[in-house]
Amino acid sequence: MNKSRTIRTTDDKSPTGLKVRQQQLMDFLLSGNPDIQQHIAQQGKTSTQSRLGIYRNAYSSRLRDVIDIDHPITGTYLGDELFELMVNQYIQQHPSNGTSLRHFANNLPDFLGQHPPFNDNLQISELARFERILLSSFDAADANRISLPQLSSLPADAWPTMTINFHPSVQLFNTHWNVVAIWQAITQQTNPPAPEQCNESWLVWRNSEMLTEFQNMDNIALWMFHQIKAGADFATICESLLEIVAEGAVSAAAVDVLTRWINMGAISNIGTDTAVVRST
Amino acid sequence: MENKFLGFGLGLRTEHFQDILNNQPAIDWLEIISENFFVAGGKPKHYLHQIRNTYPMVMHGVSLSIGSTDPLNQSYLRNLTQLIHEIEPEWVSDHLCWTSIGNVNSHDLLPLPYSEEAINHVADRIKQVQDVLGQQILLENVSSYLTYNESICPEWEFISEVVSRADCYILLDINNIYVSARNHGFEPQEYINAIDTKRVRQFHLAGHTDYGDYVIDTHDHEICDPVWDLYQLCCQRFGAISTLIERDDNIPAINSLLSELARARSVLDQTDLSSTNQLS
Ligand SMILES: [Fe+2]
């Protein structure tokens, strides 16, 4: 190759031939825009349309597989026909912006909540949102987990100022639909219950065996969850609990919830004025 | 970069995690898809680190998009650097292609025109990436289904010129050479014989789907006989090069992949290496 013919192309502002060609091929993948076709060579028996078609099929089938793998329960709930409709519309409206396919379907719950025919049945969007929360718990960061003996070893005067930190996999799933029951039924290959409006809060976390779990939260647990997320110390949490718990029962109730969470492996560490108690 | 012969390896797939950990099959080394482990923690990362304790590994990426006219993706390079730090791979590879433009990712290995502009552009970017990573990288020839009118040379001249200007290495995918040869009507032997023996550091072997008029690189079949013949030719020409079998779909039990690895081993064993051109 004659190096004297070399064209320098480091000036990002000038639209080079390469840049135009790449945009044309991408436009074809995204929308079928045929501008690229005249720049593809005729070769052998396979037409340029078929050659481009190989890329377009690969593009959509790869993205379809991602949704299928990330959202098996939503897929089953919708049935084949609606699933294909959802996939085609979502791929059209939400091209991938990231280098990892792990995040391609992040906008699927919002999409389902906003677009017909899916937004006629809002439990579909909620079911997809539950699946995404399970996914983000599944590969959230690792961290130590505190044990009950470590909590008990805390001196009494450290309790009021102690702060509590959840394991990075801990997520709150608030929903107005019975989608956890629907999810469970489909997972167990039984008929899902009819959609029903309800107010439920679920704690989702990854246990020490690295299995993702979820548990229904009562009022006290939910109240404490929000206080902890806001950075409140134990004394502040107990004080605020007075709004929903009788005065004499507050600290027992708070310790009960905290104990449960520690046993579940949902608490990473406890901070005190002087030190952070961590699992080793 | 010395030619380090790792032997005969497999692409690490989640389907085989348990089997590999429990039974430690006789695989010389493993190749991971880097982007699959751009997650914070959880099971995949846990298994990866455990398996890494026992097996040599290399990192193989699919989203570097080295040929794109977008600016280099710095956050991608940070993720890659982080994973290199964790895994300490024998080397890092990606593909001589582009995957994204205008911040939209096709998640496909899209071909470049074989033009001066593309050669300059890609060689510059490879040098930048090697500077950021502090090491030389390997780039793989991709399967392609179309040729741009502005291509001025065959693929083997393009890849040779790029790697020589950028001073990087080649991951020679022998199945991809076969697939592209069928799709574009060239002689795969001519391709192989044009590649500089000092530049090749790894081979890929895989299966494909034959549609008669064209062939698609599906990685869902066993390696076919014409590709085994080309592998033999490559062993004669390049000598003992780390060889890896890729399987991404229709994934069988590890034993059936082990028998393909044994076949690759016997092809190399039966090659008279005294006549190879391998210099280092
Ligand atoms: Fe490959």
CA of B63 to the centre of ligand 1 (A): 14
| A50 contact B CB<8A | yes
- Residues of chain B with Cβ-Cβ distance to A7 below 8 Å are 116-117, 120
- Which amino acid, A246? A
Note down the domain range covering B166.
8-275
Chain B residues within an 8 Å CB radius of A29: 106, 108
The yes-or-no verdict on residue A113 having pLDDT over 70 is yes
Compute the nearest-CA separation of B116 from chain A (Å): 6
Interchain pair A59, B185: CB under 8 A: no
**Interface probe, candidates A2, A13, A18, A28, chain B, greatest B C-beta count within 10 A:** A18
Q: Are B136 and B168 in contact (CB under 8 A)?
A: yes
Q: For A205, list phi and psi in degrees, rounded to 5.
A: -155, 165
Nearest CA to CA, how far is B122 from chain A (Å)? 10
In a domain, A60, yes or no: yes
Q: Does B69 touch chain A (CB under 8 A)?
A: yes
Domain count, chain A: 2
A89 domain residue, yes or no: no
- In chain A, % of residues over pLDDT 90: 91
Structural domain includes residue A95: no
Domain end among A21, A48, A66: A66
CATH number (domain holding residue A175): 3.90.930.50
- Stretch A28-55: mean pLDDT: 96
Chain B interface includes A51 (CB < 8 A): yes
pLDDT at B278: 52
As a whole number, mean pLDDT of residues A92-111 equals: 96
Do A270 and A146 share a structural domain? Answer: yes
Q: How far apart are CA A168 and CA B45, in angstroms?
A: 15
Q: Please give the DSSP secondary-structure letter assigned to residue B79.
A: H
Contact at CB, A10 and B124, closer than 8 angstroms: yes
Q: CB of B102 within 8 Å of any CB in chain A?
A: yes
Number of structural domains chain B divides into: 1
Give residue A14's domain range: 1-66
A18/B145 touch (CB, cutoff 8 Å), yes or no: no
* Ligand 1 centre distance from Cα of residue A53 (Å): 21
CB B72 within 8 A of CB B94: no
Residue A101 included in any domain: no
Q: What is the pLDDT of residue B272?
A: 86
Model confidence over B197-251: pLDDT tens digits?
999 999 999 999 999 999 999 998 999 999 999 999 999 999 999 999 999 999 9
Q: Which long-range contacts (CB under 8 A, 24 or more apart) does A36-45 make?
A: A38/B149, A39/B148, A39/B149, A39/B150, A40/B146, A40/B147, A40/B148, A40/B149, A41/B146, A41/B147, A41/B148, A41/B149, A41/B151, A43/B147, A43/B183, A43/B184, A43/B185, A44/B184, A44/B185, A44/B213, A45/B213
Identify the band that residue A9 occupies on the pLDDT scale cut at 50, 70 and 90. Answer: very low
B 130-149 residues inside an 8 A Cβ radius of A? 145-149
Q: Are residues A165 and A255 in the same domain?
A: yes
CA distance A63 to A100: 11
Per-residue confidence (pLDDT) for residue A11, from 0 to 100: 41
Please check whether residue A4 lies inside any domain of the structure: yes
Nearest to A7 among B79, B104, B120 (CB): B120
Strands (E), chain B: 8-11, 29-33, 57-60, 92-95, 98-101, 104-110, 138-140, 169-173, 200-205, 209-210, 215-216, 242-245
Token pair 């080397």 is found at B91
Q: Is A229 on the interface with B (CB under 8 A)?
A: no
Give the pLDDT of residue B142: 98
3-state DSSP call for residue A35? Answer: helix
Residue B273: the pLDDT is: 85
Determine, yes or no, domain membership for B131.
yes
The CATH number of whichever domain residue B227 belongs to comes to 3.20.20.150
Q: Give residue-wise pLDDT tens across range B164-208.
A: 999 999 999 999 999 999 999 999 999 999 999 999 999 999 999
Give the end of a domain, one of A34, A66, A98.
A66
The answer to whether residue A176 is domain-embedded is yes
Q: Is B1 within the bounds of a domain? A: no
For B153, which of A1, A7, A101 is closest by C-beta distance? A1
Asked if B69 lies within 8 A of A16 by C-beta distance, the reply is yes
CA of B246 to the centre of ligand 1 (A): 7
What is the pLDDT at residue A139? Answer: 96
Q: What is the pLDDT of residues B58-111, one digit of tens each?
A: 999 999 999 999 999 999 999 999 999 999 999 999 999 999 999 999 999 999
- Full-model pTM: 0.92
Evaluate whether B41 touches A142 at the Cβ level (below 8 Å): yes
Q: What is the mean pLDDT of residues B2-19?
A: 96
> Is the residue at B267 inside a domain?
yes
Q: Report percent pLDDT > 90 for chain B.
A: 95
Average pLDDT over residues A201-211: 97
A57 & A145 share domain: no
Cα B9 to ligand 1 centre (Å): 13
| B204 at A interface, C-beta within 8 A | no
B201 by DSSP, 3-state: which?
strand
Among A23, A58, A210, beta carbon nearest to B108: A58
| Residue A87 lies inside a defined structural domain of this protein | no
Residue B14 falls inside a structural domain: yes
In a domain, A114, yes or no: no
Asked if residue B59 is part of any domain, the answer here is yes
Please report which confidence band the pLDDT of residue A272 belongs to, taking 50, 70 and 90 as the band edges. Answer: confident
Contacts of B46 in chain A (CB under 8 A): 142, 210
Chain A residue at shortest CA distance from B143: A55
**End of a domain among A66, A95, A122?**
A66
Instruction: Please name the residue that has the structure tokens 């108690």.
Output: A277
pLDDT at site A278: 61
Lowest-confidence region among A7-11, B147-151, B274-278: A7-11
